[in-house]
Amino acid sequence: MASSPGSIRVLFIYPNLMLQTMLPSSMTVLSAVLKSRGHSVDVFDTTFYATEEHSSNEYRVQRLQMRPFDTGAQRKLLRSVESMVQDLRSKIEAFQPHLIAVSALEDTFLLGAQLLDAVRDYAIPHLVGGIYPTFAPDLVISHPSVDMICIGEGEGALVDLCETLATGKDTSTISNLWVKKRAGEIRKNPIRPALNLDELPLPDYSLFPEQRMYFPMGGRLLRIGAVETHRGCPYRCTFCNSPGTYDLYGDAAAGNFFRLKSVESVHRELRYLIDEKKVEYIRFPADTFLAMPNAYFYDFAEMYKQVRLPFWCQTRPETLTQERVNILSEIGCADISIGIEHGNEDFRRDIVGRNYSNELLLDRVGNVRDASFKLRVNNIIGLPRETRRLTADTIAINRKIQSLVECANAFHFAPYRGTKLRDLALRLGYIKEDTVVEHNTKDTVLDMPQYPREHINGAIRTFNMYLRFPESYFPKIAVAEKFDKEGNRMFEALRQEFSERYYGGVSGANDLEHAASV
Ligand code: SF4
């Protein structure tokens, strides 16, 4: 394939979890930035390879945390995992990239590394970027098939790397990159300043095939576009690596990682998605959408009145003031996710790093009573030092608000690198230094004497039963928490009843019976 002088061909590898079809907006931005400089970009995406038995959403359906939807159409697109390496090699031979770049989270790095191993013989430079190398740089750079890693934001580093590759100059001095030089020698460059979000071009949706535009929401597959309004988060939750990124930039004097994109730029992107990409639903992926100042929020709301497409965002409970809820309703907000995380005030403050009372939480959630949008809530079970007794407090607070909630999730605690709670879990001996998180809908990686793995899994699979069934069902649900014969039979019977009562008789398209068994 011919290229103009100075043009570099970059192949992204996106080692995604199976059928996690939410489009990675960060990659559409990286692609747009590179193309705006005259480079060519292609992607190898593992989303539609059968890398696992069940997808995250299928696990959630099984645990009654998600309204069942028909996965048949998506499953028909799955290719066998055996063909994955050959498909990647064919893509490399057709595209002839000068650089292969992997975007990796902790739970996808292993797959990305396996793919890099399988194409090492092409002798193309390999770069790994994303959250995982940002917080586990030594581990990722030590992998034999990794030549460089990117720490923090990738846009500027990728452009500089491509331009340096195009001129044949030394690539080892580019800010944000760690580069392997000779055996044992790694050049660690400083972090560059956080970029100005208004300088980014429109995202490049042509990178992915059409089917990647769709995602299940409320039992339907919707054509969805994502718009970044801000990057970073000003809060300090201990299970999350956003505070780590904030500190990384602060410590490096590289600016405030928490930044807003101007309302004008947001509007420009929205118009593009609606007019050109024909989306029917907008997703605002900001970590904490309502962490925006009032002046920005009012401007945003005025602008969005012209757009009026249903949208989703995620925020913290205490940001749901009555005024903001009313305005969000007026402008067509359809879905909001919030993190309850834990129901015990002391535990939430001391372990989770969220210092607000249950009274405030209930007050804020109560504000959505007449809202236009559906509320989805997230909880975490199996946090360090947690016990089954403490989980009862999470169940109790969720029961108090369940009439206002469309969908309640209970995720396994995942000790991601770069979080304070990983350090605590290590100190307490619940995990090992080399423990790697798998995706947090599947199982816990913690080994806690006071809260055994099967008890955590039992609490998670019955969580929504505790929330929705009358209290008189609690003894039967307690039986369904157990993964023995009687418990599994009870779980199945209650799952059928739950589906009939609350999901109109649809019990889920896939038989994942006992998927949570340990
Ligand atoms: S969990 Fe949410 S609110 Fe807390 S630090 Fe992370 S992004 Fe911010």
pLDDT in tens, 417-453: 999 999 999 999 999 999 999 776 678 999 999 999 9
Q: Are 177 and 101 in contact (CB under 8 A)?
A: no
- The confidence score (pLDDT) of residue 23 equals 84
Query: Distance from the CA of 266 to the center of ligand 1, in angstroms?
Result: 22
Residue nearest to atom 6 of ligand 1 (CA): 240
Query: Distance from the CA of 237 to the center of ligand 1, in angstroms?
Result: 5
Handedness of CA 161, 162, 165, 167 (dihedral sign): negative
Could you tell me which residues come within 8 angstroms of residue 26 by beta carbon, excluding any fewer than 6 positions away? 103, 154
Tokens of 418: 């770069």
By most ligand atoms within 8 Å of CB, the mutation choice from 229, 230, 240, 248 for ligand 1 is: 240
Query: Distance from the CA of 191 to the center of ligand 1, in angstroms?
Result: 22
- Report the chain's C-alpha Rg in angstroms: 23
Tokens of 103: 């975007």
In the block, which residue shows the tokens 């904490």?
A: 288
Using a 6 Å cutoff on CB, does residue 28 contact ligand 1?
no
Residue nearest to atom 4 of ligand 1 (CA): 237
Could you tell me which residues come within 8 angstroms of residue 72 by beta carbon, excluding any fewer than 6 positions away? 509
- The confidence score (pLDDT) of residue 184 equals 77
Q: What is the DSSP letter of 350?
A: I
Closest alpha carbon to 228 in 16, 22, 21, 29: 29
Mean pLDDT estimate for the chain: 92
Cross-strand partners of 408:
377
By most ligand atoms within 8 Å of CB, the mutation choice from 229, 236, 237, 355 for ligand 1 is: 237
Query: Distance from the CA of 242 to the center of ligand 1, in angstroms?
Result: 6
Using a 6 Å cutoff on CB, does residue 240 contact ligand 1?
yes
Give the angle subtended at the CA of 417 by the CAs of 429 and 340, to the nearest 5°.
90
Q: Are 300 and 266 in contact (CB under 8 A)?
A: yes
Query: Distance from the CA of 284 to the center of ligand 1, in angstroms?
Result: 15
CA–CA dist 254, 298 (Å, integer):
29
Residue ranges in the chain whose pLDDT is less than 50: 1-5, 507-518
Closest alpha carbon to 66 in 57, 54, 56: 57
Closest alpha carbon to 344 in 406, 389, 410: 389
pTM score: 0.92
Using a 6 Å cutoff on CB, does residue 379 contact ligand 1?
no
- The confidence score (pLDDT) of residue 442 equals 77
